[in-house]
A and B are shown apart, each in its own frame.
Chain A
């Protein structure tokens, strides 16, 4: 009995005095083995835990997502040696692993070379190959303890700066013997994925304390975290300054660190522990938030309307809304008639009134998107694409008339030509005939059903109606998500038009992935079959750019080209709404692309409030 009471007292004191925050998860992470996580088992839930555990040579800064040095002490210096491009990376000398060992260039070189070897020789897949592209990355070499040289076949922001140089660095001392041992087994990758890594030395700020399967994961802040007290200052002129009073480290980039400050953030961690509580349904997590059991809910899809209404009036619960780094779109199969005609695609685009659909039909639950780079990704987004969009700023009737004119311009005619007067359709169109005299047969628009995504289903039905009004025989087919995927990539390209969505990274190299003609093969990403030599040339230049400003200009041109040619008709996305308890925690900022969960809940900056 005495033991029992002592235990209760201990538990009560732990709860009362430690700076612990409780966060709600809706699914359990799968594995904390980084090889597995960045290999076949990448889920957002695992990512939320892995984020604060790992570190790369470079990282994205808070709020603006500037590309900043992390384990490196400065941006890489690029030179050419023969056919190869060399990125020389100076490393910080004030960084230690969680076991007290110094971080050196040996760790970084070993990680990069091992990942490359596992990709080339053993087919290591998943996100590893997204970081280290064997067509570009050649090798990494140690110059001295704090200087690293990385060799690439071409200079490329996408493949070097935002690729290999951002890969999470692993400790050579810990992993080298394990990998060697695994390579001797019959299935090296499975052996590597199966390693228990609970004792792995890490570079991140939070380490695993306990994982109670199915219930919770607890992490604790490293008392010796090297970035503690580091100050990140973002200036309104675009400059970034990083200073650490403890180690004397200082870095300034993207201009002079003068003028008005946008934000100043001092790194903690200010909390001792994080408990990620696993709730298997949204209602349970929301009830836990209302009850005060958790301070913040991680949910990559954001809160739904009913949940927002429920939480709106709850005391001490604050709702925050952010735009997301993704879009939902409609793709035209440009291999088929009439989608291969630019005017046809533009006519469809002219009919689609995004503002009406998002604002009126979807009740403001979504916001319009215009280009293949989401508007929330401010640095890379070209605002001109909004003006290029066919039908921009036109009324209902004007849009229809414009679409008819576009079709006529391309040589289309009708058995019964549609007639528009003001905003009214006086006569519906019927029997659309192509420029070659060929009758336009039914054009199928594949879209996910209302069970999967009611917004896309609604949009598809509206597009069908609007197209039919002017005689374009579009038929919306609301089907299972997997069925669409099968029709596009497995059958392959057995579609006219489809509607799906993308979640994206910050660096917009997806523009090349989605539309370069070399990616138009079976199972590859250019499902539209977009072929434009001019675009390909610019996309290649964009991938090879080694200067961010130059890359930005090229990206803007690419976006404009796509807004004109319309292999994709980008439609909309939904903002991500999150909720947290203001009486329990304080976030240093709330405005951030894709929400606070996208930055793992900023564990090194969040503060627990005294109860």
Chain B
């Protein structure tokens, strides 16, 4: 395993350097440059423009700039943004990261949970009404034009029913009276989610050690309830609850839209794998033993069918850090996806390269984690 890991890490590092180089030269190949925007201002003479180019380092040849970039990259410095000059690219990424992570990880989780549950049920009742309905609805949403779905949801839930906030990630009327920054609340929400995840994992490990199903269920459920209750008490007592609630309320529409749009992917993966698994001998044996349908489906079939879905999920988590241009734009949720668009429009190459490199690193890491998970989840796989 260790040999495999070290080999994979070396591969990832090499791949990363090739990736950064390709990304860098692709950006360089774009026509025009950031300073072209000054060409639209008659008050900025060529001398002033040259001065600005010098400040941005654009007076040096492209290859020299590439060498500088790689040197800084090795020092984990992604450079200085042009459009937010002289802010560091890394500080811009970390400013937007919590918003993107919170929204897209939640949406991915919800989408996969829904996809898993519908997929296993659809396969178990193949050809029945549930299978047909879930597949049809899933495919319809999967093929729909995302901005249209977003506009429809905004119009339905925000304008007509008026039950959800229309846009943005917070309501200014709630936040204007406080010195608190939304960034802090996002970080606290992420911390809370992380703690919840850790507690749930520990409780699952404990649940494995008890024998009865009822006891297992009690441990898992009580852990969830206790953690959630403690979280709510803490949020309320610190006075931050209203702000967290405001963010969560604003998150409902984008999460709903993303879930509707993407659950079919995970559902179909789960359904197809389940259809293979249910034909296996051990599933037939389990049925023959007289085990209840639900136990055969959930414990014997679904668990084995889960493997491709989990690897799929881990890899897509890597991509979630890139955010989503359409979702963030439609819901005025300025995260990393929106930063891509802004950097591209303004030809802010350091920011654009920084964002691509940042996402690339996490996608490569996600692949590594998926490889490792394979070995853990499937005892048949050995590296």
Contacts and interface: CB of A to CB of B under 8 A. Distances in A.
Contacts of A502: 40, 42
A123 interface: yes
Contacts of A209: 176
Contact of A11 (B95, B173, B330): B173
Interface string B138-167: 000000000000010011001100000011
Contacts of A215: 168-170, 172, 175, 182
Given A30-B83, A212-B170, A129 B330 contact: no
Contacts of B30: 482
B67 interface: no
B31 to A, nearest CB: 4
Interface stretch (A187-195, A569-577, A587-595): A187-195
Contacts of B159: 287, 290-291
Contact of A130 (B41, B151, B241, B338): B41
A531 B120 CA distance: 78
Interface string B41-66: 11111101101101110000000000
Interface in A171-209: 189-190, 193-194, 209
Nearest to A524: B46
A353 B376 CA distance: 74
From B30, B52, B169, B241, residue with most partner A Cβ within 10 Å: B52
Interface string A471-494: 000000000111101100100000
A8 B242 contact: yes
Nearest to A488: B39
A518 to B, nearest CB: 11
A190 B54 CA distance: 12
B176 A218 contact: yes
Interface of B: 30-32, 36, 38-46, 48-49, 51-52, 54-56, 82-87, 95-96, 99, 151, 154-155, 158-159, 166-170, 172-177, 179, 181-183, 236-237, 239, 241-242, 328-334, 338, 342, 347
A267 to B, nearest CB: 25
Contact of A281 (B55, B95, B174, B332): B332
Given A41-B84, A278-B334, A514 B42 contact: yes
Interface string A23-53: 0000110110000100011100000000000
Contacts, number: 170
Contacts of B330: 281, 283-284
Nearest to A487: B31
A172 B176 CA distance: 31
Contact of B55 (A125, A283, A524): A125
A28 B329 CA distance: 13
27 contacts: A4-B239, A7-B239, A11-B177, A27-B342, A28-B334, A30-B83, A41-B85, A123-B51, A125-B55, A126-B44, A130-B44, A210-B175, A212-B170, A213-B181, A214-B169, A215-B169, A277-B172, A280-B329, A284-B154, A284-B167, A284-B330, A284-B331, A287-B167, A291-B159, A480-B31, A482-B36, A502-B42
Contacts of A278: 168, 332, 334
Given A281-B330, A485-B39, 16 more contacts: A3-B236, A11-B174, A40-B55, A126-B52, A130-B43, A210-B175, A214-B96, A214-B182, A214-B334, A216-B172, A218-B176, A280-B332, A281-B332, A287-B167, A482-B30, A524-B45
A370 B66 CA distance: 47
